[in-house]
Amino acid sequence: MTPPSERRVSPSREAAVVSSALLDSTEFDRVRAHLAAIVESSEDAIVSKTLSGIVTSWNAAAERLFGFGADEMIGQSILTIIPEELRHEEEAILGRLRAGERIERYETVRMHKDGRRLDISLTISPIRAADGGIVGAAKIAHDISARLRAERALEEEARALETLNRVGQALAAQLELDRVVQIATDAATELTGAAFGAFFYNAQDEKGRSYRLFTLSGASRAQFEHLPTPRATEIFAPTFHGEGVVRSDDIRKDPRFGRNPPYSGTPPGHLPVCSYLAVPVVSRGGDVIGGLFFGHPGPGVFTERAERLALGIAAQTAIAVDNARLFQRLRDREAQLKQIATEREHLLESERTARSEAERLSHMKDEFLATLSHELRTPLNAIQGWAMLLRQPGVSREDHERGLEAIERNVRAQTQIVNDLLDMSRIISGKIHLEVQPLYLHEVIGNAIDTVRQSATAKRIRIHSLLDTNIGLVRGDPNRLQQALWNLLSNAVKFTPAGGRIQVVLERVNSHVEITVEDSGIGIRPDFLPHVFDRFRQYDATTTRRYGGLGLGLSIVKSLVELHGGSVRVKSPGENMGSTFVIALPVSSVHSEDEARMRHPAAPDPLEAIALPRLDDVSVLIVDDEADGRMLVARILEGRGARVTAASSAAQALELMCRQRFDVFLSDIGMPDMDGYELMRRIRLLESPDRTPIPSIAVTAYARGEDRQRALLAGYHMHLAKPLEARELVAGIASLLRLKERSTAR
C-alpha cells in the first residue's frame, strides 16, 4: 500500500535530480520520503498541478489555508479555488510556466471552501521530467491577509493624518464661521465613514437652550428642513452639555432612544440611522459651542478609531470657531467704525446739501424779490406817468381816454399781483377758506373764458370750448375755481403766439370731471415739467425774458384745486409744441334744489331747465337702511319712468336678487349687519360668469377720495356722494345702461 505521503506529494524537482544522478534505489526512496515530509510539514501551502491545471498534490498547510482536503482537490481543476473574475490569471500563469519562467511573489486572491476571499502570495516553479521537459508546476501559497490588513490600516492612518493636517491648515486659514463648521463637518463625515453628518449650533435664547442646524454633509438641507430640532433628551443632552461622546452600534436598540414623546423613534422623514456617533465641540473657555452628529443606516459602523478621529476634528473645530468668533467681533467692530465714518460723511453731506439748498433758496428769494420789484414797478411806472401827464394842461380828449385806460389796466395788473401774493401767503399759512356752494362748472368756465377773451382777441387767438352741460351741479367755491381757470387761461393767452389756438374741454370721466386747457403756445421743456407748479419758479427768470409774472399763478392753481379734493397735471411734447393742463375734480352731488337756487342763482332748476334722460321700464333695485333716502331716490327715478324696488337691508336685497333680475342696482355703503362692500361681493358671486355684471352705483355719505376708490375696487361701477342731485343720479344710470348696451352688442 502506498504511504499517505506518497499519495499527497509527487516527486519534486530535487527528487528528479537525485534520480538523474543514478542514486541507488534505497537512497532514492530515503531522499524522496525526506522531501515529502518537508513539504507535508511546511507552514506554507504547497500544491502541484499539471500543465492542464489538474491538482496532483495538496499538503496539510493547503488544507488549512483553503479548507479543502487533499482527497477533495487531487485530480480536480485548480480553478476550484480561483474566483471567477480572476480565472484568466491561470492561463497567463501556465503560459509563463511553459516558457520555463519562475514566478515570484505573485499577489492575488483565492477562494476558501466556505466562500471567503483570501489574500495570498504565490511563488510558482515549473516541474521538469527526466528529459528536461516541463510537465507541471509547483506552487507555494502564503497567506498575506494580515500583512495587507496592516498595510491598509497604515494607509488609512496616513490618509487620516493627512486629512487631519489638511483640515487643521484649512481651519487655521479660515475665519468665516460658516465655512469653518462646513469644513469640519465634511472632513469628520469622511473620516468616520458616516453616511451623513451635521453640526448643530448650541444657541442660547430667553427660554433656555435651543439647538440650531448649522451645516450638513452627505445630505441636503431639505431633508432636515421640516424636522424638529434636537431636544435635551438623554441621547442629545450629553453632547450639548459637553458631557462626552455618545456612540452606538444600533441607536434603535439603545434604551435612551425615543424615551421622550413625541419623539418616539426618529421623526417621520428623517434619514435612516442605525449607527450613531455624536461628539461635543467645546471651546478653550469650556463653553459648548455645539455638537458634531453622524449617522449611518448600517450597524456597527463607528469604531473607537472613528470616535478618536471625530474628537480630533472637534478639537480643531473648537479652536477655529473661537478664532472665527474673534474675527467676527473684530469685523463687527470695524463695521461699526466704518458705519460711524459713513454716518459722519452722511452728516457732512447733509450739511453740504442743506447749505447748498439754503444758498439756492436764498438765490431764489433774491431772484423773486428782483422779479417782484420789476413786476410792481412796471405798472406803477405807467400809473405814475399817465397821472402826471393828465395833470398837464392841454391834454387832448384822445390822450385823456388812453391815459385812463392805461391806468385802469395797470391798476388791475397791480391788484392781481397783490392778490396773488396774499393768496400764496394764505395758502402757505393754511388760512385760505373756500365758500363752498352748488355750482355749474360750465358756467364757471364760461366766466373765466370771458375774462380773457378780450386779450385773446387782441392777439388773434381763437378760444374753442367743448363743455358738457350735462355734468350737473357740483360743490365748490365758484370764485376760487374761476381764479384757477383764469390763471390757466391767462397763461395760455400769454404764452401762445398771435394767431394761435386755445381749446377748453369739460367732460365727465367715471365719477369725476376733468377740465382741459390746451394751447398751441411755446410749450415746456421736459426738464422744467416737474417744476411747473413750484412756487416762485419761472420758465425764464433772466433779465432778457419775454414774459412777465411772479411765478405764482400755477402754484396757486395747484393749491386751489387740491383744496377742492382734486388734482392738476400738465403735459407738453416740448418747446414750441404747446401745453395741456388738466384739472380733475371729484363729483360731489347737490341734493337741495332750493339751496342751489339760493347760493347759485344763475343756475336754473336742473329738472326743469335741462332735459333729463328717460328711464322708461328700467328696473332698479335700491338698498338703503334709511327710509327717507330710499323714498327720495325712488321718487326721482320713478319720475323718469323707472320701475323701482326698494330694500331696507342687504339681506333683503340678496333675497330680491335671487328671485328676479334688475337692470340697475343702487346701494348705500354704511348699513347694519352687512355693509355695501360685502353686499357687492356676494352679488358678484351670485352672477353668472358668462353674463354682463349688473350696473351698480354706490350711493353713500362716505365721500372721500379713498371711499370712492374702495367702492370701485369692491365692484361698483360708479360712486355718488350724498346729498344726491337728481340730475347726477339719472345721468349716471343712463350712462351705465349705455355702456352695458355697447358691451352686450360686442
Confidence of residue 666 (pLDDT cuts 50, 70, 90): very high
Confidence of residue 290 (pLDDT cuts 50, 70, 90): confident
Confidence of residue 705 (pLDDT cuts 50, 70, 90): low
Whether the Cβ atoms of residue 489 and residue 449 lie closer than 8 Å to each other? yes
- Could you tell me the three cell numbers for 725? 342731485
Please give the Cα distance from 388 to 616 (Å, whole number): 72
Q: Which tens digit of pLDDT belongs to each residue from 455-503? A: 889 889 999 999 988 887 888 998 889 888 988 998 899 889 999 999 9
Q: Is the pLDDT of residue 278 over 70?
A: yes
Instruction: Give, in order, the Cα–Cα distances in Å from 93 to each of 78, 198, 231, 404, 736.
Output: 12, 51, 63, 137, 103
E-strand stretches of 661-716: 664-667, 696-700
Q: Lay out the sheet containing 45-50: strands in order across.
A: 55-58, 45-50, 134-143, 117-128, 103-111
**In this predicted structure, what is the pLDDT of residue 329?**
82
Peptide bond into 268 cis (omega under 30): no
Domain limits of the chain?
22-149, 166-262+271-329, 434-586, 619-744
CA nearest neighbour of 273 among 331, 327, 339, 195? 195
**In this predicted structure, what is the pLDDT of residue 723?**
66
**In this predicted structure, what is the pLDDT of residue 56?**
92
Q: Is the pLDDT of residue 145 over 80?
A: yes
**pTM exceeds 0.85 for this model:** no
**In this predicted structure, what is the pLDDT of residue 599?**
42
**What average pLDDT is seen over the chain?**
79
Confidence of residue 23 (pLDDT cuts 50, 70, 90): very low
Buried b (16+ CB within 10 A) or exposed e, 612-631: bbebeebebbbbbeeeebbe
**In this predicted structure, what is the pLDDT of residue 370?**
66
Helix count (H) and strand count (E) of the chain? 22, 22
Whether 22-149 shares its CATH topology with 166-262+271-329 is answered: yes
**In this predicted structure, what is the pLDDT of residue 655?**
93
- Could you tell me the three cell numbers for 541? 427768470
Percent of the chain with pLDDT over 90: 22
Q: Is the pLDDT of residue 213 over 80?
A: no
**Residue 218, by phi and psi: left (phi above 0), alpha (psi -120 to 50) or beta?**
left
Q: What is the mean pLDDT of residues 694-707?
A: 82
**In this predicted structure, what is the pLDDT of residue 223?**
57
**In this predicted structure, what is the pLDDT of residue 169?**
63
Question: Which has the minimum average pLDDT: 378-387, 398-407, 623-632?
Answer: 378-387
Burial class (CB in 10 A: 0-12, 13-18, 19+), 314: buried
What is 434-586's CATH topology? Heat Shock Protein 90 (3.30.565)
Peptide bond into 262 cis (omega under 30): yes
Q: Which of 79-83, 144-148, 386-390, 595-599 has the highest mean pLDDT?
A: 79-83
**In this predicted structure, what is the pLDDT of residue 596?**
42
Between 184 and 102, the higher pLDDT residue: 102
- Could you tell me the three cell numbers for 697? 352705483
Q: What is the mean pLDDT of residues 589-600?
A: 44
CATH number of 619-744: 3.40.50.2300
Whether the Cβ atoms of residue 38 and residue 57 lie closer than 8 Å to each other? no
**In this predicted structure, what is the pLDDT of residue 534?**
79
Question: Which has the minimum average pLDDT: 29-33, 53-57, 328-332?
Answer: 29-33
The CATH superfamily assigned to 166-262+271-329 is: GAF domain (3.30.450.40)
Whether the Cβ atoms of residue 694 and residue 743 lie closer than 8 Å to each other? no
Whether the Cβ atoms of residue 56 and residue 48 lie closer than 8 Å to each other? yes
**In this predicted structure, what is the pLDDT of residue 368?**
67
Q: Is the pLDDT of residue 9 over 70?
A: no
Confidence of residue 262 (pLDDT cuts 50, 70, 90): very low
Between 713 and 287, the higher pLDDT residue: 713
**Residue 124, by phi and psi: left (phi above 0), alpha (psi -120 to 50) or beta?**
beta
Give the count of alpha carbons within 13 A of 401, CB side only: 2
Q: Is the pLDDT of residue 261 over 50?
A: no
Confidence of residue 76 (pLDDT cuts 50, 70, 90): very high
Q: Which tens digit of pLDDT belongs to each residue from 636-660? A: 899 899 999 999 999 999 999 999 9
Q: Is the pLDDT of residue 92 over 50?
A: yes
**In this predicted structure, what is the pLDDT of residue 47?**
93
CA nearest neighbour of 474 among 560, 591, 581, 558? 591
Please give the Cα distance from 176 to 323 (Å, whole number): 9
Check whether domain 22-149 has CATH 3.30.450.20, yes or no: yes
Burial class (CB in 10 A: 0-12, 13-18, 19+), 148: middle
Place of cell 474673534: 326
Between 685 and 541, the higher pLDDT residue: 685
Please give the Cα distance from 438 to 257 (Å, whole number): 84
Confidence of residue 398 (pLDDT cuts 50, 70, 90): confident
**In this predicted structure, what is the pLDDT of residue 641?**
93
